[in-house]
Amino acid sequence: MPSISVSTYSFRGRESIPHFIAFAERLGVAGIELGTDAHWPDALSSDDRAAIREAVTRNGWTLNIDYNMKTATLDNFDDARVQQGISELKADLSLADELGAGSVSVRVGLISNSLPDNLDEVRRKAQTSIADALREGLPLAESANAYLLIENAQLRPLEVLETYDQYNQLVEEIGSSRVKFILDPGHCHTFTGIQDGIDALGHNIYSVHFHDNHGERGNDEHLEFGKGTIDLNTHADFLRNVPGMISFKGWDGTDEEGSTVRSLDLIRGILGS
């Protein structure tokens, strides 16, 4: 059974770390996720780091650090930005080691802000840069005893990885048992469907991000679970066998705590936990 977890994403970084930890403890979750840029290494205070580390140890929590490879926009093949992205990933992996995180999840990003004329060349270059970044992070992942988890994005033409085949090729090219996927069913739902994503990536899926939307192409709403049209009941058997964590990553600015509680109750009901 996976670790049912809550993410700071649901509070958009506004909730202080002590309050977030207290909220997670009241919920009785098995894990937490640092899911906004307010909790990246250069933003976390030493007190926050200590509080997270102590809470993870005290509660036996699984911890994931959700890293946005924001420098992956490579339309100009800017090597300096690639190196910056590698440095940021390494900083998150070092933070994982410091805090006792079992994984760092990575959203690869876009190849460009607009479709370039030499799209295939740009995409190949971007994919090579991402593979190099992940390889450079592997020694730190091994030191932290952590997984590097690639999150599936919406399958849009501007994405570095536009097809599930490209996701699988990236993992195969890196060739490490520490590099797997964190499945986002919401992203699947806005394109070819959740089952399609599970069928394509399932053999390497380690964790899951869940939230809701209405399945409109390209519209990733990140709603409270149950407020959209996603039905995870048909995928319950698969979800029960996820080895890592299942974390709620939606947001309702009018009721942040309530939407999180209700969403986690629904997923627990689906899993029978």
Reported as a single tens digit per residue, the pLDDT across 213-247 is: 999 988 999 999 999 999 999 999 999 999 999 99
Question: In the predicted model, what is the mean pLDDT of residues 93-112?
Answer: 91
Strand 103-107 relative to strand 147-151, pairing: parallel
Closest CA to 150 of 195, 92, 106: 106
Euclidean distance between CA atoms 218 and 16, whole angstroms: 32
Which pLDDT does position 74 carry in this prediction? 46
**Domain range holding 258?**
3-271
Which pLDDT does position 170 carry in this prediction? 94
Task: Name the percent of the chain in helix, strand, coil, to the closest 5.
Answer: 50, 15, 35
Which pLDDT does position 118 carry in this prediction? 84
- Any idea what DSSP says for residue 247? E
Looking at residue 74, which CATH number applies to its domain?
3.20.20.150
Reported as a single tens digit per residue, the pLDDT across 159-177 is: 889 999 999 999 999 999 9
Higher pLDDT, residue 81 or 73: 81
Mean pLDDT, rounded, of the chain: 91
Q: How many domains does the chain have?
A: 1
